[in-house]
């Protein structure tokens, strides 16, 4: 059966939307909403009715419906007011404004219009991962500390939601599931989530043990887990540590897990979100980053969904790192492309901490230190548990002769993500911070730690040359310089300051003298 409205047509048998005969990509759930509204033939359809029928009785928030309606408007080119196809009756619901022609007899029921397998509908945009954070369970008697079982996951809900790229189910819905009896398949069915985060709290004498685990509800498998120990007197410090560490772990392990799932899909069928996860995992890896592959995946995600803020931010980020590594493959227009991607990320979502971070880096490359700090501080303010933003702010400050104010942020970055695949970069920032304070021996120790870690970062090696030289450890500095010449031929002091502007004349002078001494500057 074909339903025609405005310049569009819906083939209910094929579950396809077209415009003037040309196929239109649409999300499966947005298509369900459209079909239900078309079936109502201009009647007001209340929000509760759509939530009940389209989500099959699952518990979802109004924001889930709002998000799908927003996407549906964009798909139907009906975003400007007054709307011509889809009307919103504020506080009530929605209805179709245009006349509807039925080319196939009686309108089929919604159940007949919906395929059993939602994946049968082509939806190359995809949806962001959805996470339910459940109340933690008690092990034994908790006494006055019983409230932690809800207080801790409640703090985690707030913190993880600040990442912006994950849909976190509201407490009112996720806390309906008792952690001790929650079945993952039930959580997935009722909350329509791909991931759940649960935990337990146990008191043993004067000690408290907290266990947290992130699970894939689709496969009933654990993605990541961690155990935390503290004395009762250190509960508040432990809460801060757990919340920050969970945010960083979710931000790292969920994309990595999604990448593994996406690798089983034909590349041409990857959604925008799957391409994003493939791209981000090509950058944040314990092995050698594949910047070119990451760039291709981000560009593909943007081509599918031009309003995808994180994909724009990822593109800007990967270009930045290629420039910092003085990659010969980076074209002359890389700086402009990096800045454009950062601007696009902010335009799509000005509250995304990743977007603000890359926008700050773009200002950094333009040698505008004040503007750069403004944007990177916004990233920290929007997501206080965002390790990468703390590291970037520390880096900018130490390269601007503000070593004292840099140190708390570099320490925060290390504590938030102690097993970060890019920890060598944070150690290098710590080394430069000590150089700014005149503590050359300590700086050399941190630079040595950074250099000894498995990585392919030119800037980390250049930092080591400077720190070791200032500490008088010339032989070690010379070995690192040889390592740079072999792994990064052509890299020199001029390339470093061009790709990572220094706002400290003192640091620039010291680095030039060290590089010239070891054959890395003219």
- Checking if the pLDDT of 106 tops 50, the result is no
* Burial classification of residue 226, based on how many CB atoms lie within 10 Å of its CB (0-12 exposed, 13-18 middle, 19 or more buried): middle
Q: Which tokens belong to 324?
A: 């910092």
- pLDDT of 405 reads 94
Does the pLDDT value for residue 356 go beyond 90? yes
For residue 193 the two structure tokens come to: 């989530």
Q: If you average pLDDT over residues 121-148, what whole number do you get? A: 76
Query: Could you give the strand order of the β-sheet that contains 86-89, starting from the edge strand earlier in sequence?
Result: 45-46, 93-96, 86-89
Q: Residue 108: what pLDDT? A: 38
pLDDT of residue 113: 38
pLDDT tens profile 365-400: 888 989 999 999 999 999 999 999 999 999 999 989
Task: Name the band, by pLDDT with cuts 50, 70 and 90, for residue 115.
Answer: very low
- Cα 194 from Cα 142, distance rounded (Å): 31
For residues 495 and 406, the model is more confident at 406
What pLDDT score was predicted for residue 263? Answer: 85
Q: Which helix (H) or strand (E) holds 107?
A: none
Q: Would you state the pLDDT for residue 254?
A: 92
**Predicted local confidence at residue 125, as pLDDT:** 74
Q: What is the rounded CA–CA span in Å between residue 298 and residue 307?
A: 12
The band of 428, judged by pLDDT with boundaries at 50, 70 and 90, is: very high
Read off the pLDDT of residues 263-292 as tens digits, 9 standing for 90 and up.
878 788 888 999 999 999 888 877 678 888
Residue 98, pLDDT score: 86
pLDDT at 483 over 90: yes
Beta bridge partners of 228: 210
What pLDDT, on the 0 to 100 scale, is given for residue 330? 62
Whole-angstrom Cα distance, residue 235 to residue 208? 8
> Is 274:126 a contact under the CB 8 Å cutoff?
yes
Please, what sign has the CA dihedral across residues 139, 143, 145, 151? Answer: positive
- Residue 29's pLDDT band, with cuts at 50, 70 and 90, is confident
Q: Give me the pLDDT at residue 522, please.
A: 81
CA–CA gap between residue 372 and residue 513 (Å, rounded)? 27
Residue 112 has pLDDT above 50, yes or no: no
Give 473's pLDDT tier (boundaries 50, 70, 90): very high
pLDDT at residue 14 above 50?
yes
Model confidence at 126: pLDDT above 80:
no
Which of the listed ranges 72-81, 410-419, 477-486 does the model predict with the highest average pLDDT? 477-486
Is residue 122 scored above 50 in pLDDT? no
Q: How far apart are CA 178 and CA 490, in angstroms?
A: 60
Instruction: Give pLDDT, residue 315.
Output: 96
Span 493-520, mean pLDDT? 87
Q: Check residues 508 and 206 and name the one with the higher pLDDT.
A: 508
On the question of pLDDT at 509 being above 50, the answer is yes
- pLDDT tops 70 at residue 179: no
- Averaging pLDDT over each range in 38-47, 102-111, 232-241, 254-263, which range is the top one? 254-263
Nearest to 199 by CA among 186, 209, 188, 185: 209
Q: Is the pLDDT confidence value at 30 over 70? A: yes
What pLDDT shows up at residue 141? 66
**Lowest pLDDT segment from 27-36, 348-357, 506-515:** 27-36
Residue 334 has pLDDT above 90, yes or no: no
Cα–Cα dist 205/478, whole Å:
54
pLDDT for residue 500 is more than 90: no
Instruction: Collect all residues with Cβ–Cβ distance below 8 Å to 250 and sequence separation of at least 6.
Output: 131, 160, 163, 166, 197, 214, 224
Quick one: pLDDT at residue 142?
62
8 A C-beta contact, residue 420 and residue 455: no
Report the pLDDT value the prediction gives residue 241, as an integer from 0 to 100. Answer: 85
| Angstrom distance (rounded) from CA 119 to CA 117 | 5
Contacts of 241 (CB under 8 A, 6+ apart): 228, 415
- Rounded to an integer, the average pLDDT of 480-497 is 87
What pLDDT digit, counting tens, does each position of 47-99 carry? Answer: 888 888 887 666 666 777 888 888 898 899 888 877 888 888 776 788 888 88
Residues 321, 291: contact at Cβ < 8 Å?
Answer: yes
| 458 within 8 A of 484, measured Cβ to Cβ | yes
Count of helix runs (H) and strand runs (E) in the chain: 22, 14
Helices (H), 220-333: 235-262, 272-283, 291-304, 309-324
Residue 304, pLDDT above cutoff 50: yes
């Amino acid at each position: 059966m074909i339903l025609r409205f405005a310049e569009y047509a819906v083939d209910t048998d094929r579950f396809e939307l077209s415009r003037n005969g040309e196929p239109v990509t649409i999300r499966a759930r947005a298509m369900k909403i459209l079909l239900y509204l078309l079936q109502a033939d201009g009647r007001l359809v209340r929000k509760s009715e759509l939530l009940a029928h389209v989500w099959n009785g699952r518990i979802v928030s109004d924001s889930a419906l709002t998000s799908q309606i927003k996407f549906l408007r964009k798909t139907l080119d009906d975003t400007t007011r007054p709307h011509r196809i889809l009307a919103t009756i504020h506080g009530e619901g929605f209805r179709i404004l245009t006349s509807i022609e039925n080319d196939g007899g009686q309108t089929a029921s919604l159940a007949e219009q919906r395929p059993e397998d939602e994946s049968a509908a082509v939806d190359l945009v995809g949806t962001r991962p959805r996470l339910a954070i459940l109340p933690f369970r008690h092990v034994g008697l908790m006494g006055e500390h019983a409230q932690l079982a809800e207080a801790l996951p409640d703090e985690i809900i707030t913190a993880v939601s600040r990442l912006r790229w994950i849909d976190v189910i509201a407490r009112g819905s996720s806390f309906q599931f008792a952690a001790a009896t929650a079945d993952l398949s039930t959580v997935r069915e009722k909350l329509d989530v791909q991931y759940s985060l649960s935990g337990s709290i146990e008191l043993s004498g004067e000690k408290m043990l907290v266990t947290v685990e992130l699970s894939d509800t689709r496969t009933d498998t654990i993605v990541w887990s961690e155990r935390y120990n503290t004395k009762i007197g250190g509960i508040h410090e432990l809460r801060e540590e757990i919340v920050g560490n969970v945010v960083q772990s979710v931000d790292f392990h969920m994309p990595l897990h999604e990448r593994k799932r996406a690798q089983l899909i034909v590349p041409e069928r990857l959604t925008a979100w799957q391409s994003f996860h493939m791209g981000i995992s090509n950058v944040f890896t314990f092995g050698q980053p594949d910047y070119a592959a990451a760039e291709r995946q981000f560009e593909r995600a943007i081509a599918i969904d031009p309003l995808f803020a994180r994909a724009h931010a990822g593109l800007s980020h990967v270009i930045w790192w290629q420039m910092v590594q003085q990659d010969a493959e980076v074209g002359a227009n890389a700086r402009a492309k990096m800045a454009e991607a950062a601007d696009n990320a902010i335009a799509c979502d000005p509250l995304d901490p990743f977007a603000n971070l890359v926008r700050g880096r773009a200002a950094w490359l333009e040698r505008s230190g004040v503007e750069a700090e403004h944007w990177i501080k916004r990233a920290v303010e929007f997501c206080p548990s965002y390790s990468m933003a703390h590291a970037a702010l520390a880096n900018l400050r130490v390269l601007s002769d503000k070593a004292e104010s840099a140190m708390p942020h570099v320490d925060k970055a290390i504590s938030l993500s102690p097993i970060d695949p890019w920890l060598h970069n944070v150690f290098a920032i710590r080394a430069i911070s000590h150089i700014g304070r005149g503590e050359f021996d300590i700086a050399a120790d941190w630079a040595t730690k950074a250099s000894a870690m498995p990585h392919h970062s030119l800037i980390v090696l250049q930092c080591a040359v400077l720190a070791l030289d200032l500490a008088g450890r010339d032989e070690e500095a010379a070995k690192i310089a040889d390592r740079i010449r072999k792994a990064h031929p052509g890299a020199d002091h001029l390339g470093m300051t061009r790709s990572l502007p220094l706002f400290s004349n003192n640091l620039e002078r010291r680095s030039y003298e060290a590089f010239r001494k070891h054959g890395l500057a003219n």
